[in-house]
Amino acid sequence: MEALKISPGFEKVMPQEYLELVEDGPYGRGLGVKDLGTFKELIEVHPLCAGCALGLSIRLILASLPNPENTVIVGTTGCNAILMPQVAIHNIHCLFGNQSAVATGLKRALRLRYPNTHKDVVVMAGDGGVVDIGLAPTMHSWFRREQFTTIMLDNEGYSNTGGQESGMTRQGVVVNMAPLGKKFPKVPLHEVAKVAGCAYVATATPARARRLGQMVRRAILVAREIGPAYVQIFCPCSTNYKFPPAESLKRAKETEITEYMVPEAKEWIERIEKGPKAEEVSNEA
Amino acid sequence: MPERRVVSPEYMLFDAPREKKYLIGNEAVAEAAKRANVDMAIVYPITPQSEATHIIGDMYAQGYIRDYYRGEDEFNVMSAVAGAAMGGVRVFTATSGPGTLRAFEMFPVWAGHRLPIVCAFMTRGVNSPLSIQPDNIEIGWLADTGMLIFHAEDPQDFFDMTLQAYIIAEQPEVHLPVGVCVDGFFVTHTREIVELTPEDEMLPPYDPSVSPVVAMDMETVPVRHMKDPFVMKSNYISYNTHASWQQEVRAAAERARKHIYKYMGGPIEVTHPDAEIMFMTSGTAAAQARVAMERMRAEGIDVGLVKIKVIRPFPEKEIAELAEVPGIIIVPEHNITGWLAREIRSRVNNNSKIYSGPRVFGGMTMPPEVIVKETKKLLQAGVAV
Amino acid sequence: MSTLIGLPKNGYRVVPGPEAYLSPSAAIMGVVLPEEGQGLIEGEIVPQEVAMEEIANRLLSARNPMLFPGPLVLWAWSDKAVAKAKALQDMVAEVPGMRIIPMPDYRPKYPMINPEVEINPNHPNLTIWHNNIDVCMFVGVHCHFANLALKIVRAGTDCYTIALCGERGHEDAMITLRDVHAEEVRKITETIKRVKMGRVSCQKEE
């Protein structure tokens, strides 16, 4: 937290956005989705399409980080990547698909350098990046029980490259590269995650904002203490699925919200959440 | 593990006592990683590299290396060491031939991210057909990734160059990845006398605060830094930024030159610089060419040798100057493409005197008599001198 | 063997532009970084004090001198950073008309950047204040990004660039000093004060 101070005297020249981040940002304050609108968020503007459910999900994720001042986000190619330069915490743009490998190295490095502080590493990537091109490192990070969180922003296709079929596209849907309709079902990665070693698995929607926030927060806290965590967020894409932007949230509701925890994770979460003040989770390892 | 003490790079390279050991190349490079105070090694099996990273695994078990694991494939290993380097620790990895190609997308990323990763390339043939045997075709491909590239001749070079690689890679104005290459089997599996520095002395730890880019730790410095920021908007200045970025990576390699002189004694080693006939070569071909040179000099033929230790940044001025003297320059190589001859040809004034060969590959050895014979054939044909 | 002192043999000089559609890196053109106790003026190695003197002259002669502090001094992430930030502000106070525009990060900012408020290495030539800044000084900018910006500025503007580096210096600046920490900044401030006094006394004599 000491590091988050502007050198005395330079406050008068720092851009307003930074002054607000330091004075009224979420760093070290244990804020959450319920506090949105009362503090300076980690993202001010973004260049995503109108009605983008992914943009909204990222806003909710950023508001749910338990310790944003000690969080690094690892992402990959996709719509979210063009938003990431605007996010006010450190983040890495990887090659397409290697984000979980990069996150593995990063998390282990930070653990070596800061043995007494939890440095949360959060992979945030699209469905193509996670389930297709990045499946091997994603699953291997779970097999190895790497202690970071993987969040899939599932918009059921490659939106940034022009709307192609991904493993998460539903069967029968006609999109680019599936001219006769997709020939196999949506990959049940949340089920795979459970058998692959994740200690926490959830499917969420930005249409249920507080629940999403709770899941992201739980995932990160479980990843710290117990094992890998996976959160899959349904983010309908109005641009490539060609529906009115105003319908995004209505469509986003049409998904099942699920939550799975191994017993140790459940015990850990209960212990934290039943504490005197749930928001005060120590950042000390 | 003995109690270890930190020593300066200069002391370790120039003043530390050396103990003679009888080691294969794979043992020598692991001994270097131990003395380099490596924080983390991430590895994947491939012949002929694996033995080195087994030994490094044992060093992890003994406590010399702080973290270590076997990754899922070379691409993801190279990605994971990048993540670790971005997190501010010193890393080591190694691979060979097909592994190099599997991982290739990451090498320009290392350079573009300005990550001082040291990777040993124990070169071997690439498919198809399958070969696990020595062949250094991959060095030619690696040369344009933005990495610094060293080419070791023997286990001693492999030990020294790996230590030198860390020291040069981490200079703040250089801060680039280094590939330390050797010809597989010929070096990795050949036992020779290697002079090692003491086992209980190690380099100072890596300091991420002097990096030319931000460490991804939210502390040095905090708040908003993207690694690396998108500069791909469709406009002139985005293209210009990307171009300038690439130039800066090459500029950083250029800045390595003075450190190469300081810590490696220069990018080349020259024997008989005024000779009429000059062998210019690298790696184990230099060892074979040295034997050929000695045999021919014994017969009264005026032959010299330039051993090129550093492929990137290429010693262009040194090579251009040396190339003025001889009547013919012969470039023996362990690959089919003749990448070293191509490098030399493009840097000298009169390049018609450069003879690219003899070249062997796919595991074939290069007996000195082949070099002698081909050289004599050229002389008889009146090609030069 | 290339010599490590003096100007590059090819005669390349690091001078204000606009230089080229795509400027070369000064390092590739043969400009080498200074050793300890040295600085660079337009690609030539000089003693540190000479470079400081030239910095003072350039700043005091400028119409619109500008400091571009980067994240390494904007943030109080270490005691050294805080001390250097203080020393820089004291320096700015000694240069008539000198202003500060920060470079808080290195991202391309959407939807646009306001060059009155902040500078960004990804499009510095758009942000040299519509080319009204005639002398600028980079401090506390991570070396990689400083070099990018310095080169783009040289390519597209006639701004005179000065880079004070905490590490090894910047060939792509017209004047650079290495190993600059709070103490060295204070030395520059003293030089500025002295040069200013000299100028005042010259005027009096006239």
Q: Phi first, then psi: what are they for A246, rounded to 5°?
A: -65, -15
A11 within a domain of the structure (yes/no): no
Nearest to B173 among C122, C148, C168 (CB): C168
Inter-chain Cβ pairs, chain B and chain C, closer than 8 A: 114
CATH of B5-209, one of 3.40.50.970, 2.30.130.10, 2.40.50.100, 3.40.50.2300: 3.40.50.970
Q: pLDDT by residue (tens digit) across B9-32?
A: 999 999 999 999 999 999 999 999
Cβ contact, residue pair C151, B213, below 8 Å? no
| Ramachandran assignment for B251, one of left (phi > 0), alpha (psi -120 to 50 degrees), beta (any other) | alpha
Of A111-115, B378-382, C147-151, give the lowest mean pLDDT range: B378-382
Share of chain A above pLDDT 70, in %: 96
Does A75 contact chain C (CB < 8 Å)?
no
- Residue A235's alpha-carbon distances to A214, A250, A253, in angstroms, are 17, 11, 10
A143 within a domain of the structure (yes/no): yes
* pLDDT average, residue stretch B149-163: 98
Locus of tokens 């970025």? B245
Share the mean pLDDT of chain B: 96
In a 13 Å sphere around the CA of C175, the CA atoms on its Cβ side amount to: 23
Q: Output the pLDDT for position B3.
A: 95
Cβ contact, residue pair A7, C117, below 8 Å? no
Q: Output the pLDDT for position B307.
A: 98
Nearest to A6 among C74, C86, C89 (CB): C74
Sign of CA dihedral A6, A7, A11, A13: negative
pLDDT tier for residue C10 given thresholds of 50, 70 and 90:
confident
Contacts of A85 in chain B (CB under 8 A): 226, 229-230
Q: pLDDT by residue (tens digit) across B60-94?
A: 999 999 999 999 999 999 999 999 999 999 999 99
The pTM of the full predicted model, rounded to 2 decimals, is 0.96
Cβ contact, residue pair B173, C167, below 8 Å? yes
Give bridge partners of residue A43 from the DSSP assignment.
A87
For chain C, domain boundaries:
39-128+140-205
Q: Output the pLDDT for position C199.
A: 83
For chain B, domain boundaries:
5-209, 268-380
Question: A142: nearest CA in chain B?
Answer: B72
Q: Which SS3 state, helix, strand or coil, does residue B122 take?
A: strand
d(CA B61, CA B84): 19
- Considering only CA atoms, which of A201, A178, A179 is closest in space to residue A260? A201
Class of C39-128+140-205 in CATH: alpha beta
Write down which chains contact chain C via at least 3 CB pairs under 8 A.
A, B
Alpha carbon of C107: minimum distance to chain A alpha carbons (Å): 6
Contacts of A137 in chain B (CB under 8 A): 72, 76, 79
Q: Phi first, then psi: what are they for C46, rounded to 5°?
A: -135, 160
Does C181 contact chain A (CB < 8 Å)?
no
Locus of tokens 């030319």? B212
Judge residue A43's burial from the number of C-beta atoms within 10 Å of its C-beta, 0-12 exposed, 13-18 middle, 19 or more buried: middle
Cβ contact, residue pair A5, C110, below 8 Å? no
Alpha helices in chain C (DSSP H): 48-61, 71-74, 79-94, 124-127, 143-156, 182-205
Indicate which of B247, B259, B319 best probes the interface with C, i.e. most C CBs within 10 Å of its own CB.
Answer: B247
**Which B residues, 230 through 269, put their C-beta within 8 Å of a C-beta on chain A?**
230
d(CA B159, CA B180): 10
- Residue B59's alpha-carbon distances to B24, B30, B180, C24, C66, in angstroms, are 17, 9, 20, 45, 53
Q: pLDDT by residue (tens digit) across B175-198?
A: 999 999 999 999 999 999 999 999
Q: Which domain holds residue A102?
A: 33-273
A22 within a domain of the structure (yes/no): no
Query: Given this chain, do its domains B5-209 and B268-380 carry the same CATH topology?
Result: yes
CATH number, domain at A125? Answer: 3.40.50.970
pLDDT value at B384 more than 60: no
DSSP class of residue B219 equals: S
Give bridge partners of residue B226 from the DSSP assignment.
A91
Class of B268-380 in CATH: alpha beta
d(CA B227, CA B242): 14
Indicate which of A42, A79, A98, A160 best probes the interface with B, i.e. most B CBs within 10 Å of its own CB.
Answer: A98
pLDDT value at B306 more than 70: yes
Cβ contact, residue pair C102, A45, below 8 Å? no
Cβ contact, residue pair A5, C75, below 8 Å? yes
Question: B239: nearest CA in chain C?
Answer: C122
- Considering only CA atoms, which of B310, B209, B334 is closest in space to residue B260? B310
Alpha carbon of A172: minimum distance to chain B alpha carbons (Å): 33
pLDDT tier for residue C113 given thresholds of 50, 70 and 90:
confident
A47 within a domain of the structure (yes/no): yes
Cβ contact, residue pair A105, B86, below 8 Å? yes
Contacts of B224 in chain A (CB under 8 A): 87-90
Cβ contact, residue pair C122, B212, below 8 Å? no
Nearest to A69 among B218, B221, B229 (CB): B218
C35: CB partners within 8 A, 6+ apart: C45
Question: C21: nearest CA in chain B?
Answer: B240
d(CA B146, CA B109): 9
Locus of tokens 């001082």? B116
Nearest to A3 among B69, B79, B219 (CB): B219
Q: Output the pLDDT for position C2.
A: 37
